[in-house]
Structure formats: C-alpha cells, structure tokens
C-alpha cells in the first residue's frame, strides 16, 4: 500500500478572511495557516462560524474580503471543483443505489482515472471495509457508512480534506473508535486534515493543533496540552475543560510572580503565565491541580491556599470525586480528587481548605463576561448535563 498514497498534503492559508451575510458577520478578519500534513481542529460552539469557514475553503461560499491559498496558490476566485479539496459532511451522503465499491470508485471514474478499481479497493482496505465492497450502504452500520464516506474522500487524494463534524451521528463508543482510526488514517496518507467539531475532547484527542473559535474569531491556537495548561482568555479556559477563575486587584508585581488579592488573601501566579500584571485581573487554576485539606495547611513558599470553606457537594465519578467548595466571597471552587482511598476523603458540610502549586496557576487577558441570561450552549459537557437533567425531569413527571 505504501507508495500509492504518496501525494502529500498542502498548506492552507487564510489571509484576512471576512464573511458577511446580510446583516450578520459570520467570520471576522480570520488569519490562519495550516501546515501541510497536519491534523488541524477547529473547535467552537454552535454558530461560531466553523461550517462557514469550511465552505469558504471548499469554494461553496465566497469571502466578503480576504484571500485563500492552498499549497501557496491563490484559490479565492476559483470554482469548488478546481480546488484540491474534498469534504466529508456530517450526513455521509452515500449513493444508496450503488454498491460500496461503486461509491468509492465514483469520483475517480468521473475524472477518467485509469486504475480506478484498484485505487478504490485500496481505499476500502485502508478503512478496513474491503470485505463489504459489494454491499449497499443501507446494509452497513452507521460507523461503517462513515468509513465508506471517508474512503470515498481519501481515494481522490485531495491535498486538503475538510471534515465537518463527521462523527456527529455516531454513539460515544463508536465515535471514540473512529477518532483513533481517523487519526491513524491521516498519519498513513499524510494529507492535510481540517476537522471541525464542537467536542473539546474530540479536538484534543485527534489534532496536533487546535484553534478555539468564538464568534467568528480565533481566540487561541496551539497544541492541545498548551491550550489546556495555559489558556489566555476566559472563553478558552471554560470551553476547553473546566477552570476555577478568581478576579482581584494585583497587589504586588514581582519579577517572578504577580500577587492578586483574592478575598483578602494574596494569591500568586507566575509572571510568565499571566497575561496582565497590573490592575484588576482574572486568574485561574484547573480543578485537578487543587488539593483538598481538612485541616488548615501550613503556609509554604510556592503554594497558594484558599479557605476555610465548606464542601457543598461531593459527587463520586469513579476514578475521581468532584467536590464543590464554597469559600465566603468567592465563586464556588471545583476540585477533582483522584480516588486513592476507599470511602470519601471529606464529607459534605465539612470545613476544608484548598491549595495548589503557584506554577499551576494562569492569568487571563480578559475579565469574565457577565452572567448570561440564558445558559450558553458553548460547553458540550454542560449541554450533556442539561439534556440529561431534562430527561430525568420528564421521567419524574411521567
Ligand atoms: N446563508 C446564511 N445567511 C445568514 N446567516 C448565516 C448563513 N449561514 C450561516 N449564517 C450564520 O453564520 C453563523 C455561523 O454559522 P456556521 O454554520 O458557520 O456555524 P457553526 O460554527 O458551523 O455552528 P454549528 O456548530 O451549529 O454547526 C451563524 O450565526 C449562522 O446563523
Ligand atoms: Mg456547522
């Protein structure tokens, strides 16, 4: 198989791309470079402009301003079929009256490629479905149909493959499995993948670079670990995993750390991990970086301590327990504690302190947005929780 898929991916470059619909700006001055052969994820809440971005790249939509380059060549004014791009949409859109093989072969035949049959079989082997080549799509499971759609796109060896929530219709287990398969297929064929999703876990597992998009702009971009460990804005800190955020005045701006007044306590953040060093700032720390104490810990250099507070909720989730701690004057603090011992570490109602190492904190560039009147649909976990809650309520009523 090696050698057949030897065409490499191409760079994708968006320069100052803006897309205005009548009365609505969907994309605002977007600048983006995706290096050839990379797996790039565009992550963001519903309506932030992900699909619009893909449609612009595919040529299905024309930008209001800006330029699009693929492999260094400007394609802004070219037709979709003139671009070395293939798209896998959420609905796989296989031809129902054709066999799996014919579906995959279709694009090659239309372009008059000589060894279409051999290439189609090869693409099917890649997604491990060559043994069902003679079936019709309706005789396959959802995940298998998804893989056929992928084979159909990959077989054309597009320099750039666009994936718009291609796993959206799959159940969680299949979704996880397909995520790993997609990633290994990308590694094998070496094409440039631009994957759109609103699922933060999916973006972090699959991509080497994640761009977090909010309201038509990219807020932050980088390797998954980098984004998680050092978010720069409130949106990124909350969209990608959970964060404990505190706002206060900087009381000391030292060469190593800035000290922020949080509920009367001096909380330190490493200077190089803080976006701002003066005035009112928002700082944060991830829930798994916190340690819970049932006695007041001794002050120590390099450790921040908040408390005393009260445990207002403790929920056992298997590998860890999630504690919610209320310290007077502060937003509720979330602590993830690994379950290292049998039985709860601390009970609801117990008096506790939380501590974390100074180097785990981060300082944000912005202030938290005022609480929205409607719950934002920007955190996939929250959406799942709300959905479950609604189901439970319905069941209760029935
Ligand atoms: N043809 C159109 N005319 C007017 N507004 C549009 C049009 N297409 C999209 N929009 C608006 O542009 C914004 C971005 O839409 P887009 O489809 O790119 O979102 P998305 O990030 O893909 O969201 P989702 O996760 O829900 O698919 C939305 O507010 C949408 O209502
Ligand atoms: Mg979309």
Q: What rounded mean pLDDT belongs to the chain?
A: 87
Distance 149 CA to ligand 2 centre (A): 18
Ligand 1 binding residues, C-beta < 6 A: 21, 24, 26, 44, 46-52, 198
Distance 29 CA to ligand 2 centre (A): 19
Pocket test for ligand 1, best of 28, 51, 64 (most atoms within 8 A of CB): 51
b/e per residue 32-48 (b: at least 16 CB within 10 A)? bebebbbbbbbbbbeeb
Query: Any bridge partners for residue 220, and if so which?
Result: 212
Query: Which of 159-173, 180-194, 265-279 is predicted most confidently?
Result: 265-279
Domain boundaries, the chain: 12-226, 242-367
Q: Count Cβ atoms within 10 A of the Cβ of residue 389 and give its class: 0-12 exposed, 13-18 middle, 19 or more buried.
A: exposed
Better pLDDT: 110 or 17: 17
pLDDT of 174 reads: 74
Whether residue 392 has pLDDT greater than 80 = no
| Rg for the chain, CA atoms, rounded | 25
Nearest to 83 by CA among 97, 104, 62: 62
pLDDT of 189 reads: 83
pTM: 0.82
**Using CA positions, which residue lies closest to atom 18 of ligand 1?**
49
In tens, the pLDDT along 233-258 reads 999 999 998 999 999 999 999 999 99
Pocket test for ligand 1, best of 19, 28, 52, 199 (most atoms within 8 A of CB): 52
Its CATH class, for the domain covering 12-226, is alpha beta
Looking at the domain that runs over 242-367, which CATH code has it been given? 2.40.50.140
Whether residue 163 has pLDDT greater than 70 = yes
C-alpha–C-alpha distance, residues 43 and 235, integer Å:
12
pLDDT of 3 reads: 37
Pocket test for ligand 1, best of 17, 21, 196, 198 (most atoms within 8 A of CB): 21
pLDDT of 382 reads: 44
Nearest to 63 by CA among 18, 26, 14: 18
Better pLDDT: 55 or 181: 55
C-alpha–C-alpha distance, residues 364 and 381, integer Å:
22
24 phi and psi angles, rounded to 5 deg: -150, 125
C-alpha–C-alpha distance, residues 83 and 97, integer Å:
28
Atom of ligand 1 nearest to the CA of 52: 18
pLDDT interval class at 386 (50, 70, 90):
low
**Using CA positions, which residue lies closest to atom 25 of ligand 1?**
46
């Amino acid at each position: 198989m090696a050698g057949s898929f030897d065409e490499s991916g191409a760079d994708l470059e968006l320069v100052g791309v803006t897309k205005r619909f009548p009365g609505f700006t969907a994309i605002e001055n977007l600048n983006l470079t995706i290096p050839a052969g990379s797996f790039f994820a565009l992550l963001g809440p519903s309506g932030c402009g992900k699909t619009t971005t893909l449609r612009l790249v595919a040529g299905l939509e024309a930008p209001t301003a800006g330029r699009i380059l693929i492999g260094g060549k400007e394609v802004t004014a070219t037709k979709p079929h003139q671009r070395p791009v293939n798209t896998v949409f959420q609905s796989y859109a296989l031809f129902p009256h054709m066999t799996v093989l014919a579906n995959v072969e279709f694009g090659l035949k239309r372009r008059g490629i000589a060894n279409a049959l051999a290439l189609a079989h090869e693409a099917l082997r890649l997604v491990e479905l060559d043994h069902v080549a003679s079936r019709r799509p309706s005789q396959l499971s959802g995940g298998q149909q998804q893989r056929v759609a992928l084979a159909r796109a990959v077989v054309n060896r597009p320099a750039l493959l666009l994936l718009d929530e291609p796993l959206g219709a799959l159940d969680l287990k299949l979704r996880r499995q397909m995520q790993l398969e997609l990633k290994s297929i990308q590694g094998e064929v070496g094409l440039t993948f631009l994957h759109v999703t609103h699922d933060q876990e999916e973006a972090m597992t699959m991509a080497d670079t994640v761009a977090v998009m909010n309201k038509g702009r990219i807020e932050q971009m980088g390797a998954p670990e980098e984004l998680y460990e050092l978010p720069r804005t409130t949106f990124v800190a909350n969209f990608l995993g959970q964060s404990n955020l505190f706002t206060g005045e900087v009381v000391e701006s030292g060469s190593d750390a800035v000290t922020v007044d949080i509920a009367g306590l001096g909380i330190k953040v490493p200077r190089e991990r803080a976006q701002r060093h003066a005035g009112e700032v928002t700082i944060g720390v991830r829930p798994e970086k916190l340690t819970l104490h049932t006695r007041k810990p001794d002050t120590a250099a390099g450790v921040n301590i908040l408390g005393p507070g009260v445990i207002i909720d403790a929920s056992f989730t298997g590998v860890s327990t999630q504690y919610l701690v209320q310290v007077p004057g502060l937003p509720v603090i979330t602590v993830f504690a690994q379950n290292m011992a049998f039985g709860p570490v601390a009970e609801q109602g117990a008096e506790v302190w939380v501590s974390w190492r100074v180097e785990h904190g981060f300082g944000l560039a912005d202030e938290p947005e005022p609480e929205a009147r409607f719950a934002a649909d920007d955190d996939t976990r929250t959406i799942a929780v709300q959905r479950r809650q609604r189901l439970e309520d319905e069941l209760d009523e029935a």
